[in-house]
Every structure is written in C-alpha cells, then in structure tokens.
Amino acid sequence: MNAKANVSGISAIAMWSLLALFTSATTGIKPFQMLALTFFVGALIGFAFIAHRGKTGWVKLKQPPRAWVLGVGGLFGYHFFYFTALSNAPVADASLIAYLWPLLIVVFSAFLPGERLRWFHMVGAFMGLGGATLLVASKGEFSFSSQFAWGYMAACACALIWSLYSVLNRTQGHVPTETVAGFCLLTAILGAFSHMMFESWVDPTFTQWLAIIALGAGPVGASFYAWDYGTKHGNIHFLGVCSYGAPLFSTLFLTMAGQAEVTIHLVAACLLITSGAVLGSLDMFKKARA
C-alpha cells in the first residue's frame, strides 16, 4: 500500500463526483449510446499514452484472458446492469441499492491475502451508507415494490459486480494500468452493440459533444485508470469508505452549478460521510504515528 495509490483512488472518486453535472448537459442522449461514446474517448486517452511509450507500451496490452474478463466484465457489466436498473425501478430505489458497492468493497476485502477487516472499517462504511441514503432520500421517495423486482435485481447485480471487480483487481497487481485502455475499448464496442439492439441514435448537439468528451476524459475515462492503480496498490478499506464521498460531492457540485439546493439532508450527509471516512482510515493514522 502506498500514499500515491490512495491519492489515485481518491482522484477517481473526485472525478465520479462530476458525473451527474456533466451528464446533465447530455439530456436526451440514450444511455448505451453515451456508454459507447464516452468509453471510446476514454480508450483513446489510454492508447495515446501507450503510443507515446512506443513498443514497450503496446506490449503491456498482452495479458492473460482472466485479466481481460475481469476488466471488461467489471466496466461493462456494472454499467449494463446500472442502466437496466434505472429503466426498471424508481431512480431513488435503484440508486440506493446500487450504492451498496462501497460497503461491499469493505466487506469483501477482508478475504484478500494480508488484509484484515476491523470494526472501524465497518462502522465507517455504514456511516457512509447512511449519508448516501440521506442524499438519495432527499431526491425522491422510496417506493420498494415487488413490481420493480427486476430493476432491484439489476441494481444488486451492478453493486456486486463493481465491488467484486474492485476487490479482485487487487490480485491483478502484475497487470499494468495501461491495459485499462483495452478494457475501455471493448466496453465501448459492447456498448455500441447494446445501443444498436435496444436504442435508436440521437444526434448530439455541439454542447453535448463537448460534455461527452469531458465525460470520456474524466468521470468515464481517466477515473478508471486512477481507480485501477488505487485498488491494486492502495488501502482498499480506506478507498471503499471514501467512495461514499462521490454522491456527496456530486450534490455539492450540482449545488454550486445552481442545479441543487443546500438542505438539512446535505449537511447531515456531509457530516456522516466525512466522519465515516475518518473512522474508516484509523489504521492509516496509526501507521503514520508509528
């Protein structure tokens, strides 16, 4: 574990916080169309870096099938089931279930070699979940009903897929982060196929193209390279707890952009998530003192 990797993981969380703000500028664009376009931009960024490295960079793409299945399965699988959940269940319900992934990361990481789950990791994660619940609740009423069962199962699937991807990625430390460029490209291709099967093309406006490029360069591009490095070499418990900062900062960015208001829910969520992150990183503070 190293500080650079922790910073890398946190930077991914920070970029994901901009997802809602940038996505608000792409209203009308179909989900899988967005997936294909943004991940293609994200892939181009990675390939540009690889090309700059020359032959040594391209060689790094040659990895065993297991690494590709994990990478593409994690990136495409999460987004496929997330969009499916939002299409088959109320947004508030689906969002809350989907945001179980940070808590699951903390739990699943206990099964990794050399990792130990402590009480403050779990308490910190549950505090983060509580804060995220407040944010989701402030945007809509929960209406859990059996008629949305498929949507709920899809939301559970995306939470399970992303948490397992993040934790299992820890075992792939030998796979260079440059490989994420290939993962993004295959995800873009699968997204394009899904778009052709389930959607019709919508012509983006100039502003929407700018937003798509911004998304591909940040929240749906560079963020996955940063998360890859962070989960492979950083404090996985700490990153799991800190992941609950994404919905918090997302709301804060929307507030600064005039698209949301400061409410008691936001203040309470801020206190819960921040306190949870501090509590969840107690082992880091102890090591720093030592």
- The 10s digit of each residue's pLDDT in 101-140 is 988 988 888 888 877 778 888 888 888 888 888 877 766 6
DSSP state of 142: -
pLDDT in tens, 172-217: 999 999 999 999 999 999 999 999 999 999 999 999 999 999 999 9
Query: Phi, psi (5° rounding) for residue 252?
Result: -65, -40
120, two tokens = 């403050």
The answer to whether 118 touches 286, Cβ cutoff 8 Å, is no
233 with 5: CB under 8 angstroms?
yes
Residues 6+ positions from 79 with CB-CB distance below 8 Å: 35, 158, 187, 191
User: Six-digit token pair at 66?
Assistant: 């297991």
Amino acid, single-letter form, for residue 109:
S
| pLDDT of res. 111 | 84
Residue-level pLDDT at 140 = 61
255, 266 in Cβ contact below 8 A? yes
pLDDT < 50 positions in the chain: 288, 290
- Amino acid in position 172: Q
Give the torsion through C-alpha atoms of 121, 123, 125, 126, to 10 deg.
Answer: 160
> Tell me, what's the pLDDT at 1?
56
pLDDT of residue 91: 76
- For the chain, the maximum distance between any two Cα atoms, rounded to a whole number of angstroms, is 59
| Backbone torsions φ then ψ of 132, nearest 5 degrees | -65, -35
CA distances from 176 to 52, 105, 170, 202, 203 (A): 16, 21, 12, 36, 36
Q: Does the model's pTM come out above 0.85?
A: yes
Residues 6+ apart with CB under 8 A from 258: none
pLDDT at 285: 59
Task: Quickly tell me which residue has 């319900």 as its tokens.
Answer: 93
* Spatial distance between the Cα atoms of 128 and 241, rounded to a whole number of angstroms: 7
